[in-house]
């Protein structure tokens, strides 16, 4: 009899262990004040013939601009010739008390402030309650173009604004957020970090950030709800010769994760200014995506979600110096420093940073491509308060590259594209750190005092 009882107990223990590993059966966790979360994804559809954005190379450009309207949506660049893989929009909506945040990621090269404002305006008009908004672009160089208002950015890499294309992209973002909002339910949260495989190289010969931050959200029952993963890599594994729309390596990896986990997998790029893929080409892209997805899966498995009741959001407006293309930074120190091409109103003079904290996980947006060393500085300082830190590059605006003062010299592309001056990157970094420090345990949504990166300020 005793042996039978032991045998039954062992069988039950094995059954429960198996249920815990596979997620077949998990007891619900009571949590009356848990953060609520909802996620959704949407296929990003654009009109046929939409040009690709990301490369200014002649391989992508039309021989002559389309002044005779031969192409419905392309002007400077060649029309796309279909899709290599589906483009996606993914959204996560969080709420705790009076604080709400909508985070949407798109398979795009970047987003500008006008795009973000259009998303926010349509959400408001559709009846979605007031919500802090983060819009993150994956930075694929094979995503759709023709959606930014800047004539300068359009000429360089995105193509002239086409309202039909932009409307399609905005509608996709709004739709995904609305569905994520409707799907909100009490959630459990966990974040962890894993090391990425050796799939990147530094453009400047500097140390890389190999951390993948994995944010895991589940229902109280333990069933998967959403995944957010943060890693630093340029979406340039497909070359300028490619004319098929693609999410590049980040999109392929996210698709693999969604197939495995069955929930939206939001990719958020990091401080990517000086980081490129170690390999290129379609075959290498598929292998790299599989390696990244496998690493993220390890993080997902390791993370143990628990109740979280706090969501805090803060915003800071930063004044910037006048933008200019420095010929010294483009061609080298032999060019006198005062030789520069002012960009005038083509580039904004201010930007807003948005920071948030979900329990002991924090994030802050960066309006462009921050150098890795500066991103690591943000993480290092923020880790004094938060266990996990996400630097959300290419989010809410695109203002080019931001480097350390030392690396804003010397005739390299990264320095040439640093149009706000040598010290702007350091100044934005300090503003981001201060914003994260202000996310105290009793704070909710807030707008912190403006900062300035103008010449002559302390941050310079």
Q: Residue 329: name the closest of 417, 401, 428 by CA.
A: 417
For residue 254, report the phi and psi dihedrals to the nearest 5 degrees. Answer: -65, -40
Q: What rounded mean pLDDT belongs to the chain? A: 90
pLDDT in tens, 298-357: 999 999 999 999 999 999 999 999 999 888 778 777 677 778 889 998 899 999 999 999
Structural tokens at position 263: 């929930």
Q: According to the model, what pLDDT value does residue 450 have?
A: 73
Q: According to the model, what pLDDT value does residue 31 have?
A: 83
Cα 452 from chain centre: 24
pLDDT in tens, 64-96: 999 999 999 999 999 999 999 999 999 999 999
Give residue 396's pLDDT band: very low, low, confident or very high (50, 70, 90).
Answer: very high
C-alpha to C-alpha distance for 351 and 226, rounded to whole angstroms: 29
Residue 177: other Cβ atoms inside 10 A? 29
Give residue 441's pLDDT band: very low, low, confident or very high (50, 70, 90).
Answer: low
C-alpha to C-alpha distance for 331 and 73, rounded to whole angstroms: 34
C-alpha to C-alpha distance for 187 and 200, rounded to whole angstroms: 34
How wide is the angle at C-alpha 303 spanned by C-alphas 297 and 305, nearest 5°?
Answer: 130
Burial zone of 18 (CB within 10 Å; 0-12 exposed, 13-18 middle, 19+ buried): exposed
Half-sphere exposure in the Cβ direction for 366 (13 Å, CA): 37
115 membership: H or E segment, kind and range: helix 113-125
Give residue 411's pLDDT band: very low, low, confident or very high (50, 70, 90).
Answer: low
> Given the DSSP bridges, would you call strands 185-195 and 306-307 parallel, antiparallel or unpaired?
antiparallel
Half-sphere exposure in the Cβ direction for 142 (13 Å, CA): 28
C-alpha to C-alpha distance for 282 and 288, rounded to whole angstroms: 10
Q: Residue 438: name the closest of 316, 264, 296 by CA.
A: 316
Mean pLDDT of 107-125: 97
What are the sequence ranges of the domains in the chain? 33-308, 310-386+396-460
C-alpha to C-alpha distance for 119 and 174, rounded to whole angstroms: 6
Extended beta strands in 44-85, E state:
52-53
What b/e readout covers 161-171, taking b as 16+ CB neighbours within 10 angstroms?
bbeebbebbbb
Q: According to the model, what pLDDT value does residue 10 have?
A: 35
Structural tokens at position 431: 């503003």
Q: Residue 134: name the closest of 361, 311, 312, 366 by CA.
A: 366
Q: According to the model, what pLDDT value does residue 30 have?
A: 72
The answer on pLDDT for 226 being more than 60 is yes
Max intra-chain CA distance, the chain: 93
Burial zone of 24 (CB within 10 Å; 0-12 exposed, 13-18 middle, 19+ buried): exposed
131 membership: H or E segment, kind and range: none
Distance of CA 242 to CAs 4, 70, 81, 144, 236, Å?
66, 21, 9, 12, 10
Q: According to the model, what pLDDT value does residue 328 have?
A: 79
Give DSSP secondary structure letters for 137-191: E--BTTEE-S----HHHIIIII-S--HHHHHHHHHHHHHHHHHHHHT-EEEEEEE
The answer on pLDDT for 17 being more than 70 is no
User: In the chain, what is the straight-line distance between the N-terminal and C-terminal CA atoms, in Å?
Assistant: 80
Give DSSP secondary structure letters for 184-234: -EEEEEEEEEEEPPS-EEETTS-----EEEEEEEEETTS-EEEEEEEE---
Answer whether 83's CB lies under 8 Å from 246's CB.
Answer: yes
Residue 70: other Cβ atoms inside 10 A? 9
C-alpha to C-alpha distance for 434 and 381, rounded to whole angstroms: 9
Higher-confidence residue of 7 and 420: namely 420
pLDDT in tens, 139-189: 999 999 999 999 999 999 999 999 999 999 999 999 999 999 999 999 999
For residue 33, report the phi and psi dihedrals to the nearest 5 degrees. Answer: -110, 20
Mean pLDDT of 442-450: 61
DSSP state of 346: G
User: What pTM was computed for the model?
Assistant: 0.91
């Amino acid at each position: 009899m005793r042996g039978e009882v032991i045998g039954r107990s062992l069988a039950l223990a094995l059954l429960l262990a198996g249920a815990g590993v596979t997620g077949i059966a998990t007891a619900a966790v009571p949590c009356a004040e848990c953060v609520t979360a909802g996620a959704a994804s949407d296929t990003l559809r654009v009109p046929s013939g939409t040009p690709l954005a990301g490369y200014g190379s002649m391989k992508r450009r039309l021989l002559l601009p389309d002044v005779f309207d031969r192409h419905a949506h392309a002007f400077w660049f060649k029309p796309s010739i279909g899709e290599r893989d589906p483009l996606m929009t993914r959204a996560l909506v969080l709420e705790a008390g009076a604080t709400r945040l909508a985070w949407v990621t798109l398979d795009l090269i970047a987003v500008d402030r006008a795009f973000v404002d259009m998303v926010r305006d349509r959400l408001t008009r559709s009846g979605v309650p007031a919500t802090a908004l983060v819009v993150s672009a994956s930075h694929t160089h094979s995503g759709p173009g023709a959606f930014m208002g800047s004539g300068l950015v359009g000429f360089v890499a995105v193509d002239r604004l086409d309202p039909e294309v932009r409307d399609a992209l905005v509608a996709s973002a709004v739709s995904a957020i609305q569905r994520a909002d409707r799907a909100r339910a009490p959630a459990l949260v966990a974040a962890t970090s894993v090391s990425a495989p050796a799939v990147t190289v530094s453009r400047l010969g500097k140390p890389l950030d190999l951390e993948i931050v994995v944010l895991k959200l589940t229902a109280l029952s333990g069933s998967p709800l959403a995944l957010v993963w943060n890693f630093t890599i340029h979406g340039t594994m497909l070359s300028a010769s490619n004319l098929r729309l693609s999410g590049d390596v980040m999109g392929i990896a996210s698709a693999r994760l969604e197939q495995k986990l069955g929930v939206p997998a939001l990719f958020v790029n990091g401080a990517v200014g000086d980081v490129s893929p170690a390999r290129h080409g379609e075959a290498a892209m598929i292998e790299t995506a599989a390696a990244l997805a496998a690493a993220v899966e390890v993080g997902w498995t390791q993370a143990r979600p628990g109740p979280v009741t706090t969501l805090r959001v803060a915003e800071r407006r930063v004044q910037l110096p006048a933008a200019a293309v420095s010929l010294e930074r483009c061609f080298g120190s032999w060019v006198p420093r005062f030789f520069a091409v002012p960009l005038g109103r083509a580039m904004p003079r201010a930007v807003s940073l948005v920071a948030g904290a979900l329990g002991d996980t924090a994030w802050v947006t960066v309006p462009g491509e921050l150098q890795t060393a500066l991103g690591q500085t943000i993480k290092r300082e923020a880790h004094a308060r938060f266990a996990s830190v996400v630097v959300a590059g290419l989010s809410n605006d695109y203002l080019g590259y931001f480097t350390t003062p030392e690396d804003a010299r010397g005739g390299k592309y990264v320095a040439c594209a640093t149009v706000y001056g040598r010290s702007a990157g350091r100044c934005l970094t300090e503003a981001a750190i201060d914003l994260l420090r202000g996310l105290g345990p009793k704070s909710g949504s807030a707008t912190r005092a403006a900062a300035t990166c103008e010449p002559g300020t302390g941050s310079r």
